Structure 1
Amino acid sequence: MQKDYLNTTEVQFANADLLPEVVTLLNEGHTVTLRLRGFSMRPFLEDNRDKALLIKPSTINVGDPVLCEIAPLHFVLHRIIKIDGEDITLRGDGNIGVEHCKRENVLGAVIGFYRKNRKRLDRTDGWKWRLYSYVWTRLFPLRRYILGIYRRLWIPLFGTI
């Protein structure tokens, strides 16, 4: 019996090309799994390793990780740190600085992450994510140093978390 093998090819697109299509799918009511690019959500989410499961946002709260368009065709997936009426302030877990957008520019809400190539979803409403969020957001003044140690010592010795 002959076995048929499925060949797959991974294709990468620029965020400005891909993410408007992702937003269209979210607006149609679909969920979208998106491979993460960049280092702004370190140390727990890594570039080209982890994936986010997104839905169209219905409600947003401080602490939620969201997909936002902070400038035309410039998208980020960061955590909400402040909501002031229609104004939203965002910060990546691995960033010191902040970004700003309007409520209408929050295009996707993350309901969970697939970390370390696992098949099991780490839900953002689960105890693990809530505990991590509680601790990590309160370490803000010290995060710069923790991230420096992680980047300069931990990754060269042990790889990513």
Structure 2
Amino acid sequence: MEISSKKKITLANNLFFEELKVYLDKGQRVTIRVAGNSMNPFLKHGDRVVLKPIENADLKLGRIVLADTEQGYILHRIVKIMDDEIWLAGDANLQQIERLKKEEVWAIVAEAFNDKGKIDVHSFLTINAAFIWYWARPVRRLLNWIKK
């Protein structure tokens, strides 16, 4: 039985993500809305992402994952993979990089949607554009400084 409701409820982040992890641990996919702007310009606040449980084969550069960090839950892009460590960065972040153990990554974005339709987050073009954007961080910092 499927239950659908238009009623909006608000939960504390820790409760929401604990419940989300239950579904992921059962192998189910979960759709959530992006909150915040750390993944601009590739994902924006309000876009929807379909999360699926993470598998080792999913751990590839450029993939967007959900992780549980000391600072909270984040949806960021994999920018470096080492033996037992993964580095994540939000596309809009100019400096911050999260260094995590692989087991702190819970899920991967399988699909994403905005108001116009599907966002192809795994295409060669999108991932390469995201890395060009990432490597341009020093220039983006300088431009931000000049704007201020």
Matches within 5 A, 1:4-153: 8-47=6-45, 49-58=46-55, 59=57, 60-71=59-70, 74-95=72-93, 96-115=95-114, 117-118=115-116, 120-127=117-124, 129-145=126-142, 148=144
Unaligned runs of 5+ in 2: none
- Residue of structure 2 equivalent to 1:158: none
Q: Specify whether residues 122 and 8 from structure 1 end up closer, same or farther in structure 2 by C-alpha distance, changes over 3 A only.
A: same
Work out the percentage of aligned pairs sharing the same amino acid.
28
Letter in 1 for 2:103: E
Letter in 1 for 2:98: E
Contact 1:80 1:88 in 2 (8 A): yes
Note the C-alpha offset of 1:145.
4.8
> Which of structure 1's runs of 4+ aligned residues deviate more than 3 A?
none
**Bigger Rg, which one:** 1
Q: Could you tell me how far apart the structure 2 residues matched to 1:109 and 1:99 are?
A: 16
What root-mean-square deviation, in Å, do the aligned CA atoms of Structure 1 and Structure 2 show? Answer: 2.4
TM-score, structure 2 normalization: 0.81
Unaligned runs of 5+ in 1: 1-5, 153-161
Task: Tell me the alpha carbon deviations over residues 11-67 of structure 1, each in whole angstroms, 9 at most, x when there is no partner.
Answer: 2322211112112111211111111112211233222x2111110111201211100
Q: Specify whether residues 87 and 33 from structure 1 end up closer, same or farther in structure 2 by C-alpha distance, changes over 3 A only.
A: same
